[in-house]
Amino acid sequence: AIADTRRGERQVDFQGTGFVTAVVYDLDLFEPDMAIEGPAIIENKTTTIVILPGKHAAMDDFGNIIVTL
């Protein structure tokens, strides 16, 4: 479940929005068809993906994170 990938929260300064609370997710625990809404951060040891407020991200069947702007 997506709740199992959640690491915590972090304050992030988005241009035009200012500081907001973003949920931080563990990329290594994501599975195909898992989806989230921004503001969020998906990260592991080598990758950080920032999802802007109001945007959508999901993992496809090949393990790619697709961000819908």
Phi, psi dihedral angles at 5 (to 5 degrees):
-90, -10
Judged on CB neighbours under 10 Å (0-12, 13-18, 19+), 42 is buried
Give pLDDT tens digits along the chain (69 positions).
899 999 999 999 999 889 999 999 999 999 999 999 999 999 999 999 999 999 999 999 999 999 998
Contact 14, 52 (CB under 8 A): yes
| pTM for this predicted structure | 0.92
Beta-strand runs (E) in the chain? 6-14, 18-26, 35-37, 40-43, 48-51, 56-59, 65-68
